[in-house]
Chains A and B, each alone.
Chain A
């Protein structure tokens, strides 16, 4: 490939000029960039997808608590409720929320997950891709296409904003994951590149300002329960985009806004645990209980 792609505008232009989907451009670009054949790029993505499925499977069966003892058995509660009384939003909603929670609970109990883009946000992209693929009989090949699409979206966001809570708050972790998931599921359901990018923009606009204020400095509260919420934001963005709703602010400008919001955000709200939920009365009590008495 003769030029680098670092904005969504460039990506869309490339898709249109070559009449290709985002994953096709992305896997060719990745192959060039990493100097590996395209089939190895797809093999790596397939391995990630399998690891994501494995994490869901393991997570759905476990109630083991995290090292801090704060969390680990909420997915079980959700499954029990759905077994007794189906979710108002239906079967796919049940799957998405339980899969997201199962994955992020696996993460906090030192299970094996795929950081996507980070470990704290590991449940969002897999839950959406895998639940929708199951309920709509979508092949593994197309799931891999969706995952590569998610990776490309994250890559382009990260060209402007480092995907770390310490840099731009949770916008850049669970927020970026929601945007990646929104684009991925739009691709999965057959949406063209323009709709994929609208889904990304719509999702991202709705997480701007999200702070990173982890209780006791751990990737637990509020991170793991944020995963199912973000997965649903991703689905909402995808449904809107696929109906033809467009983001009034183009996606590249939304990323700029995210960058600026991150810079304006107080360091107390960027993974330092010096503000927000981390400095509430209960959080401080938990901190004393966990760390001072050891």
Chain B
């Protein structure tokens, strides 16, 4: 049974009207921003299914943009984000689609024609990023997460987890995926607590690791 906390129930303090279509949209935007790890100049949002159909009435577009601009779910600027000074230095556009294979509340972010992130708003303000470029991932933003892309060779998982274990940090979940045997692979490690630069630099130095990103969690009780 999945455990929830009281503050999953009496939370979040948020801008309405919908936890999935407004707060969830802000959180997806924030998480996508944290994954991209720099200020995008250009973003395309592709909204699917219920997000596309009822997004306008729920401020979903406003939420997505506000999140990408770094606002949290309770920021009153969300309501008028299109006119806010924050939105002046970013080019953005919204597209709408139907895709029954995708989650009812889902969105693609395309940052600077450079990174493609697919996420879902799974209910009660909870979100999940499922895809980064062509890699399948599982990021909820609830825990700090180390994400890396590397060559699919034996021993990579233990090399990475060894560095984390040396700091006595607990791994909550580990998710790997690859294009094909021996080709590019991705790893997402969600941890309890926080990693320091030493671990992240250590992972970057591992042979055949191409890309490392440390994705900070979004809005929880102790954060």
Q: Is chain B a partner of chain A in the same complex?
A: yes
Residues of A within 8 A of B (CB): 4, 6, 26, 30, 33-36, 40-41, 44-45, 47-48, 51, 66-68, 106-120, 122, 125, 147-148, 150-152, 154-155, 158-159, 162-164, 166-167, 180, 216-220, 290-291, 294
Q: Is B176 an interface residue (CB 8 A)?
A: no
Closest chain B CB from A26 CB (angstroms): 6
Residues of B within 8 A of A (CB): 1, 3-23, 50, 53-54, 56-59, 62, 74, 76, 78-79, 104, 123-125, 192, 220-222
Known: A34-B221, A151-B7. A217 touches B53 (CB 8 A): yes
Residues in A whose Cβ lies below 8 Å from that of B11: 44, 48, 114-115
Known: A67-B56, A110-B59. A119 touches B18 (CB 8 A): yes
CB nearest neighbor in B for A35: B222
Residues in A whose Cβ lies below 8 Å from that of B8: 155, 158
Q: Which 10 A-B pairs give the minimum distances between C-beta atoms? A: A107-B16, A151-B6, A154-B9, A217-B54, A110-B79, A164-B123, A218-B57, A51-B13, A151-B10, A219-B17
A125 touches B10 (CB 8 A): yes
A217 touches B50 (CB 8 A): yes
Could you say which of A4, A110, A114, A220 contacts B3, with CB atoms under 8 Å apart?
A4
Could you say which of A48, A119, A148 contacts B17, with CB atoms under 8 Å apart?
A119
Could you say which of B9, B56, B76 contacts A117, with CB atoms under 8 Å apart?
B9
Beyond A35-B192, A114-B10, A148-B6, 16 additional contacts (C-beta under 8 Å) are A33-B3, A34-B222, A41-B221, A67-B56, A112-B14, A119-B17, A119-B22, A120-B18, A150-B10, A151-B9, A155-B9, A166-B123, A216-B54, A219-B16, A219-B21, A220-B17
Residues in A whose Cβ lies below 8 Å from that of B124: 115, 117-118, 162-164
Residues in A whose Cβ lies below 8 Å from that of B123: 162, 164, 166-167
A147→B11 CA distance, assembly (Å): 11
Residues in B whose Cβ lies below 8 Å from that of A120: 17-18
Closest chain A CB from B83 CB (angstroms): 13
13 residue pairs of the A-B complex, CB under 8 angstroms, read A30-B5, A35-B222, A36-B222, A107-B16, A110-B59, A110-B62, A113-B13, A115-B10, A150-B10, A163-B124, A217-B54, A218-B54, A291-B53
A294→B9 CA distance, assembly (Å): 36
A115 touches B17 (CB 8 A): no
A106→B79 CA distance, assembly (Å): 12
B7 touches A115 (CB 8 A): no
CB nearest neighbor in A for B193: A35
